[in-house]
Amino acid sequence: MNETLPPCPQCSSAYAYEMGALLICPECGHEWSPAASADAATGASEDAVIKDSVGNVLTDGDTVTVVKTLKVKGSPTGIKAGTKVRNIRLVNGTDGHDIDCKIDGFGAMQLKSSVVRKA
């Protein structure tokens, strides 16, 4: 048995143990494979590259342009194509919304990287 097991990725408990091909945390009940924990240790699953609609790599602080008109709930006009969005922040959002930004006239919102182009 390997005495240097990685901590639980969910609760960071040091009491993980092996059961068959999985590692198990007795505190939170989380189960994971040792290969997944090796990927996390090398950073392979973290810091995924986020690209815009044409394949340019996006970074925090970039200025982007919206490439198609977007409907916004509660707004009669929505966001028109060609609207510039300054100082974006990349996040790990929900439903593919990976850009956090503030748009003039609309306020703070999240956008998908597939509907913007780097300016």
Distances in Å between the alpha carbon of 68 and those of 3, 13, 63, 71, 100? 54, 46, 16, 10, 18
Average pLDDT over residues 61-70: 95
pLDDT at 5: 81
**Residue 114: its pLDDT value, please?**
93
CA–CA gap between residue 12 and residue 16 (Å, rounded) = 9
pLDDT bin (cut points 50, 70, 90) of residue 38 is: low
pLDDT tens digits, one per residue of 7-24: 888 888 888 888 888 888
User: pLDDT value at position 4?
Assistant: 77
